[in-house]
A = this chain, B = another copy of it.
Amino acid sequence: MAVNFPTITADALHPVAGVKLGFAQAGIRKADKKDVLVVLLDEGATVSGVFTTNAFCAAPVTVCKQHLAAQSGIRALIVNTGCANAGTGELGMTNAQATCDELAKQLGISANQVLPFSTGVILEHLPMDKLLTGIAPAIENLKEDNWYNAAQAIMTTDTLPKAVSRQITMDNQTITLTGISKGAGMIKPNMATMLGYLATDVAIAQSDLDELTRQVADQSFNSITIDGDTSTNDSFIIMASGASGVRVEKNTAAWHEFAAALQSVATELAQLIVRDGEGATKLISIVVEQATSTAEAKQIAYSIAHSPLVKTAFYASDPNLGRILAAIGYAGVADLDVAALELYLDNVHVATRGGRHPNYTEEQGQAVMNQSEITVRVVLNRGTANATVWTCDFSHEYVSINADYRS
């Protein structure tokens, strides 16, 4: 059902020097499925992350934050699917730490140089015997040219592995950016269980990478939604190995070039999640313009993106566009003057000054609704801030997937 999902092949994913990946089938999720990923970074890499804002954040998220704060030089990541290790109290923390301990022991590094990640069912404990048994085989097959397998190893309800790779030239040298993501439901990042890992071979200062990571996440993974459910485990990590020898200094021309490339890879990775959203048949871009603040623009965009009535209308290709106006109206923006507002569906002018545009015809709306990719554009006429949010429609298949997920 994925919407205009690009063909991704292992060949197209450039290795990133200084970053090795290995996987295992540990039987945590399903038999015969990759469900453990280990990433090993050469010494000296810089690593930044942003994490879920869910108060019920998973144990591995808490451990990640502690280990990043310790600034002891992150050397490895471990990801398991099949169990989120969230809503698991003290035993959850013990299990996340034990996972780091075991990986550190086998790699000869210290436990606080490891970042742990989990995704899957909440409120269940990690099957530690299976997970720990998976570590040795994952280390065994560590190699730089392993991104496609890595993308497969972090999938849960995803129907397709998600990866993006790009090379740019800076200082006459080739720089590589390669990333993978996963997530299909429980997606309203802030972060969505959305996991994203992006590696590059530039060298960059910790504080600069931290800044870029937040900035890039806001306009990619923090601008998508499938169902409005912010997961307990969302994590987005950028790793810079420095192996290319190219150093990116803040506010130089190279910085802007690198930031743009990083943003484009992250945005594409985030959009892949929406294209493969649970039951998705359409990709909807919601653009809100001329708001008083980015927060206000996002508030209205998310209100539209989360409305089950709007999403089912897109699924049905039904230009029942009053539902969009209703969602704008209940977004909770104070003093919203609906008489100043314009609504467009792609280039069709649907509503003006609080009502139906006099030239709008149902046939025009129908033609756009029949497409597989649609842009809803709302012009508020009250400020200069803009925001874009990407979402999908709401189908029978979404209900089937989420009613049957565990069974």
Contact = CB atoms under 8 A, between A and B. Distances in A.
Nearest to A395: B399
Of A90, A328, A338, most buried by chain B (CB within 10 Å of CB) is A338
8 contacts: A87-B322, A123-B325, A123-B350, A186-B323, A229-B330, A394-B399, A396-B399, A398-B399
Nearest to A335: B55
Interface in A332-372: 333, 336, 338-339, 350-351, 353-356
A160 B318 CA distance: 26
A273 interface: no
Nearest to A350: B123
A402 B313 contact: yes
Interface string A229-251: 11110000000000000000000
A313 B306 CA distance: 18
Nearest to A92: B355
A402 B232 contact: no
Contacts of A396: 396, 399-400
Nearest to A318: B406
A-B pairs with lowest CB-CB distance, top 5: A122-B322, A89-B355, A56-B329, A123-B322, A316-B403
A320 interface: yes
A360 to B, nearest CB: 9
A73 interface: no
A128 to B, nearest CB: 16
- How many identical subunits does the complex contain? 2
Nearest to A341: B56
A57 interface: yes
Given A123-B356, A228-B307, A326 B86 contact: yes
Interface in A51-86: 53-57, 84, 86
Contact of A328 (B56, B228, B399, B404): B56
A324 B329 CA distance: 28
Given A55-B336, A227-B308, A326 B232 contact: yes
Interface residues of A, number: 70
B122 A55 contact: no
A87 B316 contact: no
Contacts of A123: 320-322, 325, 350-351, 355-356
Nearest to A355: B89
A194 interface: no
A88 interface: yes
A187 to B, nearest CB: 10
A121 B320 contact: yes
B55 A338 contact: yes
Given A87-B351, A190-B330, 14 more contacts: A55-B331, A88-B355, A91-B355, A123-B320, A186-B326, A227-B309, A229-B330, A232-B326, A312-B398, A315-B399, A320-B405, A395-B399, A396-B399, A398-B399
A342 to B, nearest CB: 12
Residue among A54, A353, A403 facing the most chain B CB atoms (10 A cut-off): A403
A343 to B, nearest CB: 9
A310 to B, nearest CB: 8
A330 B53 contact: yes
A327 interface: yes
A88 B330 contact: no
A185 interface: yes
A43 interface: no
A407 interface: yes
Given A309-B229, A318-B407, A320-B121, A87 B56 contact: no
